[in-house]
Amino acid sequence: GVDLSGRNFLKLLDYSTDEILYLIDLAAELKAMKKAGEAHDWLHGKNVVLLFEKTSTRTRCSFEVGAMDLGMGVTYLDPKSSQMGKKESIEDTARVLGRMYDGIEYRGFAQSIVEDLAANAGVPVWNGLTTEFHPTQMIADMLTVREHTGKLAGNKLTFMGDAGNNVGNSLMVVCAKLGIDFCACGPAEQMPDAALVEQCREIAAENGCTITLTEDLDEGLAGTTVVYTDIWVSMGESADLWGERIKLLSPYQVNAAAMAKAAPNAIFMHCLPSFHDLNTTTAVEVNEKFGIAEMEVTDEVFESEKSVVFDEAENRMHSIKAVMYATLK
């Protein structure tokens, strides 16, 4: 059987297919228990710390509710209120927090930071999003895919737009591990790193699936059962990039015409937050500057029956709880 106790959760390249499936199954079990009102405070007496160098709604709340449901204490450190990276090194921060807590979540910048934390903490470290990867999102996403399509392998997932971002990279990895055909559909400039593509192609070959990169919408969406997109400028990137990204990525907007190119039963997914709601302050600023009406997904698709984005958001909590339980038990 799979035993993940004591393990870090930094990127899915470190996890086997069986281990990833185990986490998805565990998330489904914990979700069923939560719905049935069955207590699962199995980690009573343990404490975790959440270290955020970027903002968050879903990930932070998922770690907090997940920890509380498991009976744990939880400390949240916001982007400004710790010494880390300013007065204190990553290594020293890790060694201090590792003496006090049973597990550490990190959201922030380079993947090397979370790897560095893990190397020095002496307790499990979980990646809550870095510039390169967003692995907890993947457990939630794959649970959502399975709930809505009834399977994992046998699907084709197409990521539209900024395919080389943390979510695009992570989807490519998890699809390769799980036998899902993955397609990055976007401009050549925004594709995942070539070395990572190569690595994922090798993994995909072992699992009977393919990795395709294309600029062509028809090729990208033919037979697609899961259409996925993400915001065009990620956290930590300069707001000056909006003009260039709008120009590059507008052809890859997920709108009704794009959905019509996919399989008839295709679902729409988005990690959120999304720019479909142009009343948010960031969207208003971008809109005023560039006069663009809609961005990575239209309101029509976002609000359609094909959209499973709020199941996906809810599943963040069940799957993050699964990651904490599996590694701390």
Which residues of the shown chain bind ligand NVA in the complex (CB under 6 A)? 129, 165-167, 230-231, 234-235, 271
Task: Tell me which amino acid residue 175 is.
Answer: C
Q: Which pairing describes strands 267-270 and 73-77: parallel, antiparallel, or unpaired?
A: unpaired
Which token pair is 196? 């990572």
Q: Which is nearer to ligand NVA, 102 or 141 (CB)?
A: 141
Q: What single DSSP character describes residue 297?
A: B
> Binding residue per annotation — 235?
yes
Q: Name residues whose C-beta falls within 8 Å of residue 195's C-beta, 6 or more positions apart in sequence.
A: none
C-beta atoms surrounding 278 within 10 Å: 15
7 is known as an active-site residue: no
Among residues 5, 16, 57, 89, the one that binds ligand CP under rule CB under 6 A: 57
As a whole number of angstroms, the distance between CA 98 and CA 105 comes to: 11
> Binding residue per annotation — 245?
no
> Binding residue per annotation — 166?
yes
* Per-position DSSP letters for 81-105, written without gaps between them: SS-BTTTB-HHHHHHHHHHH-SEEE
Q: Which does 210 bind (CB under 5 to 8 A by kind): ligand CP, ligand NVA, none?
A: none
Per-position x/- string for 265-294, each x denoting binding to ligand CP as judged by CB under 6 A, each - no binding: ------xxx---------------------
Q: Which does 280 bind (CB under 5 to 8 A by kind): ligand CP, ligand NVA, none?
A: none
As a whole number of angstroms, the distance between CA 288 and CA 302 comes to: 22
User: Rounded to the nearest 5°, which phi and psi values hold at 113?
Assistant: -70, -45
Which token pair is 192? 């995942």
Q: Which does 104 bind (CB under 5 to 8 A by kind): ligand CP, ligand NVA, none?
A: none
Stretch that binds ligand CP, among 54-62, 72-80, 186-194, 238-246 (CB under 6 A): 54-62
271 is known as an active-site residue: yes
Among residues 31, 58, 156, 318, the one that binds ligand CP under rule CB under 6 A: 58
59 binds ligand CP (CB under 6 A): yes
> Binding residue per annotation — 279?
no
The residue annotated as part of the active site, out of 102, 141, 181, 230, is: 230
Which token pair is 206? 């072992």
> Binding residue per annotation — 170?
no
Q: Which does 57 bind (CB under 5 to 8 A by kind): ligand CP, ligand NVA, none?
A: ligand CP
Q: Which does 72 bind (CB under 5 to 8 A by kind): ligand CP, ligand NVA, none?
A: none
Beta bridge partners of 126: 9, 105
137 binds ligand CP (CB under 6 A): yes
* Contact of 326 with 43, CB cutoff 8 Å: no
60 is known as an active-site residue: no
> Binding residue per annotation — 251?
no
Quick one: which H or E segment has residue 119? helix 111-121
As a whole number of angstroms, the distance between CA 90 and CA 234 comes to: 23
Catalytic residues: 107, 134, 137, 230, 271, 316
Annotated binding site for carbamoyl phosphate: 56-59, 83, 107, 134-137, 271-272, 316
Binding-site ranges for ligand CP (CB under 6 A) = 56-59, 129, 137, 271-273
